[in-house]
Amino acid sequence: MKLHHSPASPFVRKVMAAAILRGIEGRIETVATDPHVSPAALLRDNPLSKIPCLITDDGMAVYDSPVICEYLDTLGDAPPLFPPTGSKARLAAQVRQALADGIMDAAVARRMRFGKPVDEARAAFLDRQKAAVERGLAALEADPPRGLSDIGAVSVGCALGYLDFRFANEPWRPAHPRLATWFEEVSALPAMARTAPPK
Ligand SMILES: N[C@@H](CCC(=O)N[C@@H](CS)C(=O)NCC(=O)O)C(=O)O
C-alpha cells in the first residue's frame, strides 16, 4: 500500500499510529506529499487534495482518515481499534474520534492565517476555531480516554500532539490536568512515540 504522507499532518499521524497498533506499518510505503500545492499525483488519487490518502494493494484510493483507519482494521491480526459493529463502545469511540478530528480541523484552520493579513471576517472565523478547540478540550477533560486501545483514543493523542507542535505558546495542560496525565502515559507508547511530529 502507499500513503500520501507528511510528518506534520495530525491526520496522517493517526493513520500511521493505527497501522503500528495493527501491526501492519511495514506494509505501507509513505510518499512525501504537500497537499497545499495540489500535486498532480495527489489529485489523481484524491480530488480534494487532502492527505492522508491511502492507495490499497489493488489500486483503490481511500480517504479520509476515519475511512482509512477503518480499512486498516480489516488487515492484520492485532486487536481491532474499532469495537464491534453495533456496539455502544464503537459509537463512543467514533464520537471521540469525531471530536478529536474536529479539534484538528479547527487547529489546522487557525494555522492558515500565518503570514497573511487578517480582516474582520477572518478574525471572527479564527476566533470561532479557537473556541471550538477550547470547548473540545473541555469535553475531553471531562471524559478523558483510557489507554490507546481504540480509534477515539488514538485520535485524541494526535490532536493533543498537534496542539503541542503548532500552538506551543498556548499551553493546554494547566487547565486540563487529567488529559495531560493521560497524554503523558500514551506518548511513550510506540504508536505515538514513532509518529511524533518533527521538532
Ligand atoms: N477530514 C480529513 C482531513 C484531512 C486534512 O485536512 N488534511 C490536511 C493536512 S493536515 C490537508 O491535506 N490539507 C490540504 C488542504 O486543505 O488543501 C481526514 O480526516 O483525513
3 state DSSP class of 59: coil
Q: Give the fold, CATH level 3, of 2-72.
A: Glutaredoxin (3.40.30)
C-alpha cell at 91: 459509537
Q: Which amino acid residue places its CA nearest to atom 16 of ligand 1?
A: 50
Whether pTM exceeds 0.85: yes
Q: Hey, what amino acid is at 199? A: K
Q: What pLDDT score was predicted for residue 42?
A: 98
Write down the domain spans for the chain: 2-72, 88-190
Ligand 1 pocket, residues with Cβ under 6 angstroms: 9, 11, 35-36, 49-52, 64-65, 101, 108
- Determine the atom of ligand 1 nearest the C-alpha atom of 52: 20
How confident is the chain (199 residues) per 10-residue block, as mean pLDDT?
A: 98 98 97 97 98 98 98 94 98 98 97 74 91 98 97 98 98 98 98 95
**88-190 CATH pick, 3.40.50.1820, 3.10.20.600, 1.20.1050.10, 3.40.50.300:** 1.20.1050.10
Q: What pLDDT score was predicted for residue 104?
A: 98
3 state DSSP class of 18: helix
